[in-house]
A and B are shown apart, each in its own frame.
Chain A
């Protein structure tokens, strides 16, 4: 699977209105999770209503940024040309301490990855709108 197209753009999010506040949080280096002002249920990814109590009122809570690896993927052959010179790379699914999960890059040796590995979020600014998450082992 050799890709010859070198001009492909880096994959970025198309930030819609329901996700805009969450991305704005990352841009401030804050990992947010939607918290229902009425029933306190946490919702991620963001939704326009609370799936627990159906309230249209939406609020946000700031995460401590700490969590544990819940699952991970090691990409050994890139499917997208942007990542061709970055393989092998690991992407982690992290269960944040507050009780929601997010995806981010993993910075560290691939053989350190295991279920429950304690990690902490860091932030990489890509442009004015987009900041991505990078998780590092703690402790």
Chain B
């Protein structure tokens, strides 16, 4: 996103369904509920919506929203690809649609019955695996946890990291979820002992290293900064939003490029983010870092420049990433403990931190960072007051 677009658009409404293991309703219905909640939050009407953005992998498409809500004013729509890499890219897209003057009010949403329906963490009964998946599925690396373990092992080899150090991430995020009544694991505590005692699934990872699988939907509304001033919610200005692929990229099986512990796509996104924003990691007050797997949070923090390569474990220690710490992370519980709306719920929490409405609110937030998936073509977002 060009610096010329900086803070010209804002997120002015957010909405979500409950996050559960079984929603009991269709993904269409969930999406529409989230969109209506975002409209109510913003004080806008359905007829104000003139643009729609979503992500690939969604079981619904724009037409489902158009038909359910009778949206007759749509002027532009887009679907941003690459799964968990896409969420912050949808914000960039919505901001471009608004700042170009094509649209006045863009809704973006993600809806999935990912626990009661198709589970991303489960194998599929397919006979043959295409592309690079065919290079590893026949050997028994079939699901994302099994792929990510290869990267996690390499952190142990290169940096001497231990599971005792990794525990800091899921235990801290769970504590944040324990403050957040919306979180799937709001009522369940997690101790370091629980983490270290858990059986290995794909060694060196255990279940607490894995994100949740969730039924639910979220939505947000973007309009111009000018129009945002007349709306009821504190606008979360889209200071900077970037997409980047780096090269080469093979999703969670980035085993064929030079390093398993550096994400070419995240390094590229970070370079763009800091140069286009004019900011640096020191300016960030609170961050929601895509936490599909706990050890990859360390890799992402390094790749975004919060600490040097190999320093991630030390960085997250001593309470730095906890509520009240120097850089609170994933303050709603993240994908590990709040819910897994394929990274989109991190955007909503980033907005809450700007508004001052988080259940683990950081004081006086000026810049709120949200990142999308490490490993996939990715994206990142800085929200500002």
- Chain B residues, CB < 8 A from A63: none
- Chain B residues, CB < 8 A from A54: none
Q: A71-B153, A73-B149 are in contact. Are A9 and B125 (CB under 8 A)?
A: yes
- Chain B residues, CB < 8 A from A1: 122
Q: Interface 1/0s, chain B 121-156, versus A by CB < 8 A?
A: 111011111111111111111110110011101100
Looking at B130, B132, B141, B250, the one whose CB has the most chain A CB atoms below 10 A away is: B141
Any chain B CB within 8 A of the CB of A12?
Answer: yes
Q: Shortest distance in angstroms between B184's beta carbon and chain A's nearest beta carbon?
A: 18
Q: Shortest distance in angstroms between B249's beta carbon and chain A's nearest beta carbon?
A: 12
Q: How far is the CA of A75 from the CA of B137 in the complex (A)?
A: 13
Main secondary structure, interface of A, reads: loop
Q: Interface 1/0s, chain B 184-203, versus A by CB < 8 A?
A: 00000000000000011111
- Which residue of B has the minimal Cβ distance to A19? B134
Q: Is the CB of A14 within 8 A of B142?
A: no
Q: Is the CB of A51 within 8 A of B248?
A: yes
> Which B residues, 85 to 137, have Cβ-Cβ distances below 8 Å to chain A?
121-123, 125-137
Q: Is the CB of B140 within 8 A of A75?
A: yes
Q: How far is the CA of A15 from the CA of B133 in the complex (A)?
A: 11
Q: Is the CB of B130 within 8 A of A71?
A: no
Q: How far is the CA of A11 from the CA of B248 in the complex (A)?
A: 25
Interface size on A, residues (CB 8 A): 44
Query: Quick one: which of B128, B200, B248, B260 contacts A12, CB cutoff 8 A?
Result: B128
Any chain A CB within 8 A of the CB of B157?
Answer: yes
Query: Quick one: which of A74, A80, A100 contacts B142, CB cutoff 8 A?
Result: A80
Query: Quick one: which of B140, B154, B260 contacts A89, CB cutoff 8 A?
Result: B140
Q: How far is the CA of A77 from the CA of B126 in the complex (A)?
A: 20
Q: Is the CB of A73 within 8 A of B129?
A: no
Query: Quick one: which of B131, B133, B200, B248 contacts A76, CB cutoff 8 A?
Result: B200
Looking at A10, A70, A80, the one whose CB has the most chain B CB atoms below 10 A away is: A80
Q: Shortest distance in angstroms between A96's beta carbon and chain B's nearest beta carbon?
A: 11
Q: Is the CB of B130 within 8 A of A8?
A: no
- Chain B residues, CB < 8 A from A82: 140
Q: How far is the CA of A45 from the CA of B250 in the complex (A)?
A: 10
List 16 A-B residue pairs with CB atoms under 8 Å apart, sorted by A's residue number. Answer: A9-B127, A11-B140, A11-B142, A12-B129, A14-B129, A71-B154, A72-B150, A74-B200, A74-B203, A75-B140, A79-B143, A91-B136, A91-B139, A101-B255, A105-B139, A132-B139
Binding site for B on A (CB under 8 A): 1, 5, 8-16, 19, 44-45, 51, 70-83, 86, 88-89, 91, 93, 100-105, 115, 126, 130, 132
